[in-house]
Amino acid sequence: MNYNKKSIEDIEVAGKRVLCRCDFNVPTKDGKITSDKRIVAAMPTIEYLVKKGAKVILCSHMGKPKGEWKPELSLKIVADRLSQLLGKEVIMASDVVGEDAKAKAAALKEGDVMLLENTRYMKGETKNDPELSKELASMADIFVNDAFGAAHRAHASTAGAADYLPAVSGYLVQKEVSIMGKALANPERPFVAILGGAKVSDKLNVINNLLEKVDTLIIGGGMAYTFLAAQGYTVGKSLVDNEKLDYCKEMMAKAKAKGVNMLLPVDTAVAASFPNPIDAEIPVEYVDCTAIPSDQMGLDIGPKACEAFAAAAKAAKTVVWNGPMGVFENPTLAKGTIAVAQALADSDAVTIVGGGDSAAACEQLGFASQITHISTGGGASLEFLEGLELPGIACLQDK
């Protein structure tokens, strides 16, 4: 995939109607936005377009209305928040490609901003329906994709509209593509990848793809126990994906053949059962991964593993991290994830964090400002690491 894509700075936007796909899929409760992080993240692109005298038509999905009009998933609350942030009225359309949206788009003056209603109110959105794509495009002269979190979806508003308009990236997508693209295509070495999370099956293609690129691959989280079981160790009641034991053996053999250093935890935090409720205080002890008792389950990496993983991260020039090292939601079992986040914060390397839990860990711990790049897209950043082509990026014009 070509990561060298045109951005809003490579195209003349003054006086033009610009259809800008954002990621305003914000969390809400009782009709109020509980985190406006995604709205704030879109501001640099919107402000640039306004400053340059574009007529800005914003669009986004929210939730999963599945082609039905659900008032609780209306983007009106996003328009209100955008108006506050921009210090000017954001005109709200009452539909997506209907009479109201088209009339308001046609009446826009330079520097005006409007927001279309939830794109997923339209049945054709998730099917990438050409008719809907054409209708969306008919309101504008230029298409801008600034929704990296939805770039792995081939939807009408993320990729389809680009079939009918010149298409470029906004600042958010540009940053994702330039930093993550460079890390994967031409990394400074040593290049270390750290993978966590519960299941091996979630990261099958990621592991396979990264073994072609990295110098060291670190495996933590629940999926580490399947790798340990594949080495012949008994792992007690730990999470094991029995159908993936052969795959793990193949990946370990591939790492050896490629000269990639694959690091697995040497010790682990064990407890008698998975904590319920999730944040309950639970007694844990630390044991070597070769000696997990039969009535215990591994729930986090141990102190020796923390030290080994941190040392590898600090010696790297590029580090990519996706997935927590343990049951991060429980403070007792967050030590491994905290140790990795701390190591990345202390590192001089280019550090890239993708995926919801690892990103949340860095933010909650106050390390976000010390990380080179925290990806805004969970699924999209995973598919990026798999080496897949992302439809919302592929549709943009090459430089």
Candidates 70, 199, 254, 304; catalytic one = 199
Would you give the end-to-end CA distance of the chain in angstroms?
13
Residue type, 191: F
Helix (H) or strand (E) holding 269: strand 267-271
Candidates 17, 38, 203, 335; catalytic one = 38
Whether 127 contacts 67, CB under 8 Å: no
**337 backbone φψ class: left, alpha, beta (φ>0; ψ -120 to 50):** alpha
Look up 220 and say whether it is catalytic.
no
Q: Which three-class secondary structure state does DSSP give residue 292?
A: coil
Look up 379 and say whether it is catalytic.
yes
Q: Tokens for 206, please give them.
A: 């990621």
Look up 38 and say whether it is catalytic.
yes
Look up 199 and say whether it is catalytic.
yes
User: Exposed/middle/buried for 259, CB within 10 Å: 0-12, 13-18, 19+?
Assistant: exposed
Q: Which three-class secondary structure state does DSSP give residue 288?
A: strand
Candidates 63, 181, 356, 387; catalytic one = 356
Chain CA centroid to CA 79, Å:
24
| Cα Rg of the chain, angstroms | 23
Whether 129 contacts 96, CB under 8 Å: no
Strand partners, 261: 216
Active site residues: 38, 199, 356, 379
